[in-house]
Amino acid sequence: MTILKIEQVSRTFPARHGNAPTRALEPTDLIIGNNDFVTILGPSGCGKSTLLRIVAGLDRPTSGRVTLDGRAVTGPGADRGMVFQSYTLFPWLTVRENIAFGLRERGVSEAERNEIADGFIRQVGLSGFENHWPKQLSGGMQQRTAIARALANDPKILLLDEPFGALDNQTRALMQEMLLSIWERDQKTVLFVTHDIEEAIFLGSRVIVMSARPGRIKAEINVDLPHPRSYKIKTTPEFVQLKERLVEEIRTEALKVAEHA
Amino acid sequence: MRPLDPVTSKQRVAYGLAFFVLFVALWSWATLGGHVSKTFLANPLTMVQEGFDLLTKQGFVYDIGMTIWRVVGGFALAAIIAVPLGVLMGAYKPIEAFLEPFVSFARYLPASAFIPLLILWAGIGELQKLLVIFIGSVFQVILMVAVTVGATRRDLVEAAYTLGAGDRGIIRRVLLPSSAPEIAEILRLVLGWAWTYVIVAELIGSSSGIGHMITDSQALLNTGQIIFGIIVIGLIGLLSDFLFKAFNAWLFPWRLA
């Protein structure tokens, strides 16, 4: 059983060059249960990435705390796998070596590492590319490798920070289906940050809507669409209804940002 | 010709050779045509003749060997000390804050100005030559390596942390491999500078080496030998550069992929 608890977590960036301190995140509470797929939706600058980085241990909260299975998060660790928006494959390692990075850090033998890595390579559909360098891969393939790299570590929770943000629409849709099918099969706890409304509904069991600066949770919407979901679900009335509602929520926030800009 | 328009590799070689041909032609015109006195500048034919004489009768190969050994020895010594120090400085900011001001200062001390002092300390033997190269290279390498390591992509470091890497893992498996090609480039560059220091070191208080031959030839007004010596230095530089580049390409295939 995995339970991630975010309790009264806030983040204020200190003043710089005479500017006032930036309140990126208001005290926020969120509980994510076992095998939950939670998407965090919000306009840019709403602190959603900050929240994710705090959970990952890459940033420290100004107040509050994050616990995973009762243990406080004090820094990054292998129990929380992360996929970044930017391409973060190690360019000097092949696809297989990238995926095995965390396993090697833990001292897993080479034979076992390769076996596990090859399993994930098949899962994300990259068979035949085991020995390619990241430079030789398309953006979509790089992000698939990054997801495989995070999963190969068998983390308790998978954190994704707009992983498909830099991909074109068609690739992005395929990646969403791939990620969802992995989740439907293996049941992982996932926290997924995005600014794409359709993506948030299609993937999530729950959508957390965040408000613009200072960031806080504005609404929480359950997505009761059945699994397994195919891309066709995006045109069903239930899906469209959810989308309309979220469009309204997000629009008011986006307007606020535009006014302050 | 248009800005940034590429040339084919054949054209590149042709243009490169054309300059050498032009250079030798101008030189021949000036010397063989009698526009410059023989005392000041030997003509190309004399130069080749003198060079052949140097290699076959005067044991110039030994001098070349001595010079190469000094450059490589002093440079290797500098690299062995500078690269680890630079990596530590790049990785750990307190170490950088501790050493950076001094290294930046020491970098501007001209290696050739140390020669009189080094002769006092280490005599006129091999150690003194190695130390000149060492002083000329070590601070440059430290600083450039530190900057390269410090500029490692933050998101790669963060990714490694989330994959469970510890501090040692970050240095060994992220900072080092990501900086390695740049470090190799730095070494290639500084090796080129080391060649200037070695000749200066050999001009003063030396009984062998290319620089020593050049001072000897000056006493004899043998400009042919001097020019031959200079050209040999250039050729060795070109060759070592080529080898270094080929070695780097072989070492870091992921960069070219």
> Which residues on A lie below 8 Å from B165 (Cβ)?
101-102, 105
CATH class entry, domain A33-61+72-260 = alpha beta
| pLDDT single digits (tens) A47-71 | 889 999 999 999 999 999 999 998 9
Subunit contact A77:B162, Cβ cutoff 8 A: yes
C-alpha angle with apex A223: A218 to A224, nearest 5 degrees? 145
B254: which chain A residues are within 8 Å (Cβ-Cβ)? Answer: 91-93, 133-135
User: Of B163, B180, B254, which is closest to A101 when you measure between CB atoms?
Assistant: B163
Q: Name the closest residue on chain A to residue B180, using Cα atoms.
A: A92
**Is the separation of the CB atoms in B251 and B179 below 8 Å?**
no
**DSSP letter for each residue of chain A:** ---EEEEEEEEEEPP-TTPPPEEEEEEEEEEE-TT-EEEEE--TTSSHHHHHHHHHTSS--SEEEEEETTEEP-S--TTEEEE-SS----TTS-HHHHHTHHHHHTT--HHHHHHHHHHHHHHTT-TT-TT--GGGS-HHHHHHHHHHHHHHT--SEEEEESTTTTS-HHHHHHHHHHHHHHHHHH--EEEEEES-HHHHHHH-SEEEEE-SSSB-EEEEEE----SS--GGGGGSHHHHHHHHHHHHHHHHHHHHHHHH-
Give the pLDDT score at B257: 62
Phi/psi region, residue A215 (left: phi>0; alpha: psi -120 to 50; beta: rest), is: beta
Determine, for residues B162 and A56 on separate chains, whether the beta-carbon distance falls below 8 Å.
Answer: yes
Question: From edge to edge, which strands make up the β-sheet containing A63-68?
Answer: A22-32, A4-13, A63-68, A71-72
Residues in chain B, pLDDT under 70: 257
Q: Tell me phi and psi for residue A45, to 5 degrees.
A: 80, 20
- Residue A251: pLDDT band (50, 70, 90) is confident
SS3 B153: coil
Number of C-beta neighbours around residue A167 at 10 A? 18
pLDDT score recorded for residue B100: 94
Q: What is the pTM of this model?
A: 0.86
Distance CA B126, CA B70 (A): 8
Average pLDDT over residues A153-172: 92
Please check whether residue A57 is in contact with residue A134, taking contact to mean a CB–CB distance below 8 angstroms. no
For the CA atoms of B113, B119, B120, B125, the dihedral, rounded to the nearest 10 degrees, stands at 160
B116's tokens: 């009189």
- Name every chain B residue with its beta carbon within 8 A of the beta carbon of A88: 153, 155-156, 158-159
- B228 contacts: CB under 8 Å, gap ≥ 6: B47, B48, B50, B51, B54
**Rounded Cα–Cα distance for residues B191 and B74 (Å):** 10
Residues A210, A40: contact at Cβ < 8 Å? yes
> Which residues of A lie inside 8 Å of B (Cβ-Cβ)?
56-58, 75-78, 80-82, 84, 86, 88, 90-93, 101-102, 104-106, 132-136, 146, 149-150, 153, 159
Nearest CA in chain A to B168: A105
Chain A residue numbers with beta carbons less than 8 Å from the beta carbon of B168 are none
Give the number of A-B residue pairs with CB atoms closer than 8 Å.
Answer: 76
Contact B146, B175 (CB under 8 A): no
Residue extents of the structural domains in chain B: 57-256
* A152, closest residue in chain B (CA to CA): B163
A77 interaction partners in chain B (CB closer than 8 Å)? 162, 164
| Beta-strand relationship, A189-194 and A206-210 | unpaired
For residue A149, the chain B residues in CB contact (below 8 A) are 163
Task: Name residue A225's amino acid.
Answer: L
Min distance A99 CA to chain B CA atoms (Å): 10
Q: Which residue of B has its CA nearest to A90?
A: B156
Q: Which residue has the tokens 């000094």?
A: B70
A177-214 confidence digits (pLDDT tens): 999 999 988 888 999 999 999 999 999 999 999 987 78
- Which DSSP category does B172 fall into? I
- Determine the distance in angstroms separating the CA of B55 from the nearest CA of chain A, rounded to an integer: 45
pLDDT in tens, A82-114: 999 999 999 999 999 999 999 999 999 999 999
As a whole number of angstroms, the distance between CA B68 and CA B129 comes to 12
Cβ separation of B254 and A102 shorter than 8 Å?
A: no
Residues B22, B20: Cα–Cα separation, whole Å = 5
- Per-residue exposure over A10-28, b if at least 16 CB sit within 10 Å of its own CB, e if not: bbeeeeeeeeeebbbbbbb
Chain A neighbors of B253, CB-CB under 8 A: 133
Phi-psi region of A225 (alpha: psi -120 to 50; beta: other; left: phi over 0): beta
Q: Mark residue A18 as left, alpha or beta (left: phi above 0; alpha: psi -120 to 50; beta: remaining).
A: left
pLDDT, mean over chain A: 90
Q: Where are the domains of chain A?
A: 33-61+72-260
Quick: pLDDT tens for B102-155: 999 998 888 888 888 888 888 888 898 899 999 999 999 999 999 999 999 999
C-alpha dist (Å) from residue B12 to A175, B6, B19, B253:
45, 10, 11, 24
pLDDT digits (tens, 9 = 90+) for A110-129: 999 999 999 999 999 999 99
Rg (alpha carbons) of chain B, rounded to whole number: 23
Cβ atoms A150, A190 nearer than 8 A: no
Q: Residue A99: how many CB atoms within 10 A of its CB?
A: 31
DSSP state of B33: T
Exposed e or buried b for every residue in A115-125, given b needs 16+ CB within 10 A? Answer: ebbbebbebbe
Smallest CA–CA distance from A159 into chain B, residue: B162
pLDDT of A80 reads 94
Measure the CA–CA gap between A82 and A56, rounded to whole angstroms.
7
What's the pLDDT at B221?
85
Topology of B57-256 in CATH? MetI-like fold (1.10.3720)
